[in-house]
Amino acid sequence: MSDVPQDVIKLVLYRLPPKSLLRFRSVCKAWCSLIDSKEFINEQLRQSRESNSNRSVLLDSDELFHLRFDDKLVRLDTGNFPCEPKSVVVSCNGLVLISSAYDNIVLWNPSTRKVNKLPSTPLDFPDYTVFMQVRCAFGYDSKHDDYKVIRVVQPIGESEVGSECFPCAKMYSLRSNSWKTIADFPYVLPGETNWGGYLNDTLHTFVESGNRSGSIMAFDLAKEEHYEFPKPEYNRADCCLVSVEVMQGYLTLAISRESINSEIWVMKEYGVKESWVKLLALVPLTSMPCQHLCPLAYSKCGDKVLLVYNGALLMWYDLKTKTRGVACLDGSPFIGDSGDDKIPTFNAVVCVGSLVSPHSPAMAEGKTGRKKISKKRDDDFLSVGFKLVL
């Protein structure tokens, strides 16, 4: 190996999955230092995204499923996950945001199995005795090199003092490992949808508005500002927005109609209203319209789309033949508990394999600093406090 140029070694390692890279850290100190470096982690992530490789699907049915995704689904080992129950919310750069309560939010890297439970932050509705809806979102602020979590708590009903119910939004910064309040958050989030997708340093979600069809809200993580995002031009007589997602670098919009097919639209050029195009129209499986349709990813060849139908069924849709088929897990159809509830029975996100750490850089630097101090003390002891007598 000493005869192989370092640049060639790097090019090979960049293309390997995280599981292999974790093993190769033990080859030698040079490899360990290389693989742990921030430059290597960023480049491995970039190449995985560009080559559309190292992808997996996370499902939070009765248990947490981790599936390798390559035109077929194969169950992967998740390991012992410390958070129960689980609700997979969104994935960004290989990190997954999982929430089980308003004060139990964790960042998890399924490739490295590292978990970071975020610090608790109190609710701002101490006088409420009714239920509350909690919605979380997660994304990367490239301008400040920071991962940020948005948590919106929305009371349902009236408070004991009779005040109106306004959502309260807070933002967590991984770099500072702290929460702060987002002022003047004016939107009401629907009760049966998760927050939408992350793209271009911005979070997108469907919000209720004065018109029946709803609106798309965008939140710029760098500027920490929210604004209305352009929707496509379509016949809105009997339709409403269902979800806003990101599929392989493109913003997508799912629309449900009462009398005809559900639709999925794709924005080909980010931020340009005229670039919205209809990707597919799906005939409902039953006489009831589809209430929850979520596009996950294109197949490896790009001729199929993996969908979540009503939160209870994984489905392939063939874009050429306009036919659909049930996606199989280990040879059997993956079908959730499709009871009478309209609330989705499982959430699903596509996750790219990476070595990105879910922990705060300050925490990592603190641990490194303690190790350096300890090593210096050992060196001082050996050089000053201990003298070898021959």
pLDDT of 355: 96
Question: 260 and 117: one domain?
Answer: yes
126 shares a domain with 28: no
CB 188 within 8 A of CB 152: no
CATH number of the domain enclosing 275: 2.120.10.80
User: What is this structure's pTM?
Assistant: 0.83
In DSSP notation, 245-299 reads: EEETTEEEEEEEESSS-EEEEEESSTT-GGGEEEEEEE--SSSSPPS-EEEEEE-
**CA-angle at 231, arms to 349 and 148, nearest 5°:** 45
Domain range for 137 is 55-353
β-strand pairing of 146-155 with 73-76: unpaired
Beta bridge partners of 168: 153
Residue 73 and residue 177 share a domain = yes
Pairing mode, strands 198-199 and 215-220: unpaired
Task: Report the pLDDT value the prediction gives residue 80, as an integer from 0 to 100.
Answer: 60
- Give the number of other CB atoms < 10 A from CB of residue 182: 17
In eight-state DSSP terms, residue 382 is: I
Tokens 């379509």 locate to: 234
- The domain total for the chain is 2
Look at residue 376 and tell me if it is in a domain: no
Instruction: Specify whether the backbone of 102 is left (phi greater than 0), alpha (psi in -120 to 50) or beta.
Output: alpha
State the pLDDT at residue 126: 56
- pLDDT at position 149 is 93
Position 320 scores a pLDDT of 92
Could you give the C-alpha distances from 177 to 119, 289, 364, in angstroms and in order? 8, 43, 12
> Is the residue at 177 inside a domain?
yes
Task: Compute mean pLDDT per 10 residues along the chain, 390 residues long, and list them.
Answer: 79 92 92 94 93 83 66 64 65 88 82 90 63 83 94 68 66 94 76 74 82 78 91 71 84 78 90 93 75 83 86 86 78 53 66 93 56 45 36
Predicted pLDDT at 289 = 65
- The encoded tokens of residue 87 equal 């609700």
Both 60 and 130 in one domain: the answer is yes
Q: Which residue type does 130 have?
A: V
Q: Determine, yes or no, domain membership for 383.
A: no
Assigned domain for 360 exists: no
pLDDT at site 324: 85
